[in-house]
Amino acid sequence: DTAVSQTPKYLVTQMGNDKSIKCEQNLGHDTMYWYKQDSKKFLKIMFSYNNKELIINETVPNRFSPKSPDKAHLNLHINSLELGDSAVYFCASSQGYSLKDYEQYFGPGTRLTVT
Amino acid sequence: DAKTTQPPSMDCAEGRAANLPCNHSTISGNEYVYWYRQIHSQGPQYIIHGLKNNETNEMASLIITEDRKSSTLILPHATLRDTAVYYCIVRAQTGANNLFFGTGTRLTVIP
């Protein structure tokens, strides 16, 4: 069984559109994350959620709105897509958000291409 | 979080030990060293972490120098499936569990 799953795996869309990426984890973890990996392969944290509550927003434009309907899901909605949003987006989860919960489990990624 | 420096790339012969270095000269006393890897087109995968003692698990060993300013990840018998980008991350045991990835080392295991 897949521990952290994301849909879709690939997403191609035009500038100005609104799109969502979904993430689900079946590990029973309390904390979930979104990361962005750009074309230069830099992987950066975007958001952290713990028990459906936002913990960290790493200066991400407000066009990005994460939503956590329950502990097992963390979706990412992006409004008014821009070319610079093209990247691979990774969802991850961990047991908790303190650093004793050091191991994060990553999903397979969603490759977003904005044309 | 302390900054880390890793060589951009390394090669290793299949079946040999792969030794991946990481410098973290500004590490402070409460900061741990974590290693993750990212195989092509996949999400990062946790490997190992440590504070000051050497650590070993089923995947790798982590050797941390006595002054803690550098560490080495050792894959004892590298296989082709170990070809990946390896990230050394240093962070404190306080605050939210966010990982800050650098540029990592691209390890290529050669048949």
Please say if the pLDDT value at position A101 is more than 70. Answer: no
Distance, CA of B91 to CA of B111 (rounded, Å): 35
**Nearest residue in B to A100, CA atom:** B93
Lowest-confidence pick of A70-74, B27-31, B87-91 = B27-31
**Per DSSP, which regions of chain B are E strands?**
9-13, 18-23, 31-38, 45-50, 55-56, 61-64, 70-75, 84-92, 105-110
Mean pLDDT in residue range A60-72: 92
pLDDT tens string A78-92: 999 999 999 999 999
- Cross-strand pairs, B70: B23
pLDDT at B93 over 70: no
Query: Chain A residues with CB inside 8 Å of B103's CB?
Result: 41-42
For the ranges A19-28, A29-38, B8-17, the lowest mean pLDDT is seen at A29-38
**Which amino acid is present at B38?**
Q
pLDDT at res. B22: 96
**B45 CB within 8 Å of a chain A CB:** yes
* pLDDT over 90 (residue A58): no
Is A108–B95 a contact, with Cβ atoms under 8 angstroms apart? no
Residue of B nearest to A54 (CA): B96
Minimal-distance CA residue of chain A relative to B106: A41
Q: Is A59 on the interface with B (CB under 8 A)?
A: no
- Distance, in Å, from the CA atom of A103 to the CA atom of B87, rounded to the nearest integer, reads 14
> Is B94 near chain A, with CB under 8 Å?
yes
pLDDT at B38: 96
Mean pLDDT, residues A28-49 taken together:
89
Ramachandran class of A109: left when φ > 0, alpha when ψ lies in -120 to 50, beta otherwise: left
pLDDT the model gives residue A16: 97
Q: How confident is the model at residue A99 (pLDDT cuts 50, 70, 90)?
A: low
